[in-house]
Amino acid sequence: MDTVRLALLAGLGVLALAGGVLVFTCDSMARVTFALLGSLCCVGGVVTVLGLPYLGVAIVLMMVMEMVIMAVFMIAYMMNPAGLMPMSMLHNKRGSLLVSGAVFAALVAAVLLTPWPARTGPPPPDTTFQLGKALMGTQMLTMLVLGFALLATMVGATVLATHRGRYDRFGDDLGRRQARDPAGGGVGR
């Protein structure tokens, strides 16, 4: 690794940790969300610097969309979204600190004490190609499972989140031709 990459890695790592700390110290929910976004974008940057540009940039792309949607929900549900009235919404702070501190210590000890093996083989010339080939070849089963998990999530999340079923939309005997929805759409209505 050359110095530029090392410097980038160090900077991004420090920023990611700082963003992570800000997530649980800021009062404003908007700031919290975007601190998390900053932290996860730095994670994407670290992944890119480590030689996986496709995954790194895709993580940034996905996290931006995810966090903007998250901000919408935060503002919708939290009782103090703008943080104009600081309040603590924690339970069992000491226990949590203890547990997470112990986990951190254990992880660091494991990292430092494990005799890591040497690298097996050189990195491939095109990492994106490596990933695509794996997902469409040897890891096809993984890809299928992930796809089904995402599909199940879409269906399950929609069912959980909506309070209107098909009888609300299409009438008691499901005979209505056009669904009666509270918001009109752009197709045919």
Partner 1 sequence: MVEAAGWWPVLVAPALLLAGAVLAVAGDAMLAARYAGRPARAAVAAVPLLEVARLLAQQPRTLPKADRLLWRLGVVTVPVAAVLSVLVIPFGHRAVADLSVGVVWFNAMEVLTWAGLWLAGWGPNAAFSLIGGYRFVAQGLAYELPLMFALISPATAAQSLGVGDIAEAQQGLWFAVWMPVAFAGYLAGVLAFAFLGPFGYPAGRDTAAGVLGETAGVDRLLLQAGRWLWLTSGAAMAVPLFLGGAAGPGVPGWAWSALKTLLVLAVLVWSLRRLPVLRADRYAEFAWVVLVPLTIAQALVPALVVLDR
Partner 2 sequence: MTFELVLVLAAGLFSIGLFGALSQQSIVMIMMGIELMIGGIIVAAAAFWHFLAPAADGQVVIVGAVVAMAVEMAMGFAVTTAIYRARQVDMTDMAEDLKG
Q: Cβ of residue 107: shortest distance to partner 2, in angstroms?
A: 4
* Contact in structure between 82 and 29 (CB atoms under 8 Å): yes
Compare residues 105 and 180 and give the one whose CB is closer to partner 1.
180
- Is the CB of 85 or the CB of 174 nearer to partner 1? 85
Q: How far is the CB of 154 from partner 1 (least distance, A)?
A: 12
Whole-number Cα distances in Å, 130 to 74, 83, 145: 38, 46, 20
Instruction: Work out the end-to-end distance of the chain between its first and last CA atoms, rounded to an integer number of angstroms.
Output: 59
175-178 long-range CB contacts below 8 Å, 24 or more apart? none
In the list 86, 115, 120, 187, the residue contacting partner 2 (rule: CB under 8 A) is 120
Between residues 9 and 26, which has the closer beta carbon with respect to partner 1? 26
DSSP code string of 163-183: ---HHHHH-TTS--SS---SS
Total binding residues toward partner 2, as defined by CB under 8 A? 79
> Which residues ranging from 37 to 66 are in contact with partner 2 (CB under 8 A)?
39-40, 43, 46-47, 50-52, 55, 58-59, 62, 66
Instruction: Kindly report the number of other CB atoms within 10 A of residue 52's CB atom.
Output: 19
Quick one: DSSP state of residue 116? P
Indicate the residue among 95 and 188 with the shorter CB distance to partner 1.
188
Binding residues for partner 1, rule: CB under 8 A, are 28, 30-31, 34, 37, 53-54, 57-58, 60-61, 64-65, 67-69, 71-72, 82, 84, 126, 128, 183-187
Tokens of 5: 């990459």
Q: With binding defined as CB under 8 A, does residue 92 bind partner 2?
A: yes
CB of 167 to partner 2, least distance (A): 18
The whole-angstrom separation of Cα 152 and Cα 184 is 27
Nearer CB in complex with partner 2: 146/179 = 146
